[in-house]
Each structure stands twice: as structure tokens, then as C-alpha cells.
């Protein structure tokens, strides 16, 4: 089995300090959380940022401060969100890539997202994919439902994304694909041969799906964006605590944990440069 790449999704757009008092929201808190996750075993940090009031923002300046601050302190792979929050427009969402991160997310379709709708029509997705290609930023294809795989293959056929493609299956969002392990097996079977993939289980499904992914030679995303609890009724103390737990489980399953250097090689970061 190849080394497991662990991604730490530390902030997100929806979680509040009221729900998770340890949520990092200031640039310095996010930078420190990223370093802690890296030291615990994360090869990739998935980055959202907040404004001075703690609200989700795609402000290019804040993203630049955070990404540069992380790079000054460790070698973790920086991956920014182009999803932002469901109320943001396309231009706002794309601001995050101006800091030239290593990677950025790319969602390939529209999906119901709780009581809202996460809008990603074909023109928007093509625009986002083209911008990442122009900037030399490797995409992580975010899959919230099975039809998004077909849309990703359409982008591949258009030359807007290239092999090897890295996918992240976000499972358990109300309105998207459920957290049934059978769905994960189906999604993995549909991937192009050279692909890599990770799973982000929402809420209580984070641990279960992450463990299953380890057994399937996949990769895992953990962190407050998807799950704020360590176990039922017990809030996680830090994002790094969630990283450390999946590291221990990987070791029990004889899955070596990828360093950031190994992950860069697996993902072929820099191939667009």
C-alpha cells in the first residue's frame, strides 16, 4: 500500500466559535493550527479563512497572509478552497487562488447543501478549472454526488484537468451523497486508473469512513470543517488531535503516513509549472 496522505480541513465556512470554541479563525490561529496538524502527520492543509468578525471570507489578502505564514513555518502542502460559502459569487470565490497555493479545490457540479444550494454550473466550473490550469495550481476534485465524476471526466476530455487526478469524496452532507460505505466503493470503482482519492466524512462519519478508506488504500481528510467532535458528546481539543488519531489508526493498519514531500511526489505537484 502507498503512504496515506492526510488532509487537515481546519476551519470551513459554516462552523462557529459557539459550536467549537477551539475553532481557529484569525490568520495567526489558522497558521498555528496548520503547523500543529503538519507536526501531527498531515501532509496537506485545506484552507478557509475568516474576516475580523469571524465570518467566512475569500479575501485574497487574508489568504495570502495565511498561506505565506504557513510556508514560513513548515513544508505542508497548501490547498485553498474555491468553494468558499454557498452565498458567495464566483468572482468572490476565486480570490483565494491569487496567493498561488500548491492546490485548490474544484467542485464539478451543483448540489443541495442542507437548506441551501451550492451552485457550480458548467460554465463556472470550466472557468475555475481554466484559472487553476493557467496559474499552475493542481486541483483537488471535490465530489459531493456521483454525477460530479462524469463532469470531471468531461473536463479531462477538454484538457482542463490532467492525469493523475486527485479526488476528494465529501460524504454525508444533507443533499449530497450519503455516508454509506457502499457509495464509497462505487465512487472508487469509477475513477480513472491513475487517480488518487481521499474521503471526507461529515460529522460522526469522519472516523468510520476514514478508517474504511485506510483499508481501501485511500487517503483521509479530517478536521473541524467536517467534524468538531472527538467522540459523541466530546468536542475535539484541536484539529491536530483528529489528525493524530487517524495517524494511529493508519499505523495499526500498516499504512505508512506520507510526508509532505512524498505527497508532492504522489500528486505530481509542480507538473503545470
Q: What is the pLDDT of residue 200?
A: 98
- Whether the per-residue pLDDT at 171 is higher than 60: the answer is yes
Query: Which phi and psi angles does 263 have, rounded to 5°?
Result: -65, -40
Judging by DSSP bridges, how do beta strands 44-47 and 77-80 pair with one another? parallel
What is the rounded distance in angstroms from the CA atom of residue 62 to the CA atom of residue 53?
Answer: 13
**pLDDT more than 70, % of the chain:** 99
Check whether 273 has a pLDDT greater than 60: no
Q: In Å, how far are 79, 80, 98, 142 from 35, measured between CA atoms?
A: 14, 16, 22, 24
- Per-residue pLDDT at 244 exceeds 60: yes
Please compute, for residue 266, the number of CA atoms within 13 A of its CA located in the half-sphere on the CB side.
24
Indicate the SS3 state at residue 163: coil
| Whole-number Å distance between alpha carbons of 250 and 219 | 10
What is the model's pLDDT at position 85? Answer: 94
* pLDDT higher than 70, residue 125: yes
pLDDT of residue 64: 98
Q: Please state the rounded mean pLDDT for residues 155-172.
A: 97
Residues ≥6 apart with Cβ < 8 Å to 219: 4, 5, 6, 7, 196, 197, 198, 199, 213
Amino acid at each position: 500500500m502507498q503512504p496515506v496522505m492526510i488532509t487537515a480541513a481546519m476551519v470551513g465556512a459554516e462552523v462557529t466559535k459557539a459550536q467549537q470554541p477551539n475553532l481557529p479563525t484569525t490568520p495567526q490561529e489558522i497558521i498555528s493550527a496548520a503547523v500543529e496538524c503538519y507536526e501531527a502527520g498531515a501532509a496537506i492543509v485545506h484552507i478557509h479563512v475568516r474576516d475580523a468578525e469571524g465570518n467566512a471570507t475569500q479575501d485574497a489578502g487574508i489568504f495570502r497572509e495565511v498561506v505565506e505564514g504557513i510556508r514560513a513555518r513548515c513544508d505542508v502542502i497548501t490547498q485553498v478552497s474555491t468553494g468558499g460559502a454557498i452565498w458567495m459569487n464566483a468572482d468572490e470565490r476565486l480570490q483565494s487562488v491569487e496567493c498561488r497555493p500548491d492546490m485548490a479545490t474544484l467542485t464539478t457540479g451543483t448540489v443541495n447543501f442542507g437548506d441551501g444550494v451550492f451552485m457550480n454550473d458548467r460554465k463556472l466550473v470550466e472557468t475555475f478549472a481554466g484559472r487553476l490550469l493557467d496559474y499552475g495550481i493542481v486541483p483537488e476534485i471535490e465530489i459531493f454526488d456521483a454525477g460530479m465524476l462524469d463532469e470531471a471526466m468531461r473536463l479531462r476530455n477538454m484538457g482542463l484537468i490532467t492525469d493523475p487526478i486527485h479526488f476528494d469524496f465529501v460524504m454525508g452532507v444533507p443533499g449530497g451523497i450519503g455516508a454509506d460505505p457502499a457509495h464509497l466503493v462505487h465512487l472508487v470503482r469509477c475513477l480513472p486508473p491513475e487517480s488518487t482519492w481521499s474521503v471526507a466524512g461529515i460529522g460522526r462519519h469522519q472516523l468510520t469512513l476514514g478508517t474504511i478508506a485506510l483499508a481501501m488504500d485511500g487517503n483521509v481528510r479530517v478536521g473541524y470543517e467536517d467534524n468538531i467532535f472527538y467522540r459523541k458528546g466530546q468536542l475535539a481539543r484541536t484539529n491536530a488531535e483528529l489528525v493524530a488519531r487517524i495517524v494511529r489508526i493508519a499505523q495499526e493498519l500498516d499504512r505508512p503516513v506520507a510526508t509532505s514531500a512524498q505527497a508532492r511526489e504522489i500528486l505530481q505537484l509542480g507538473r503545470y509549472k
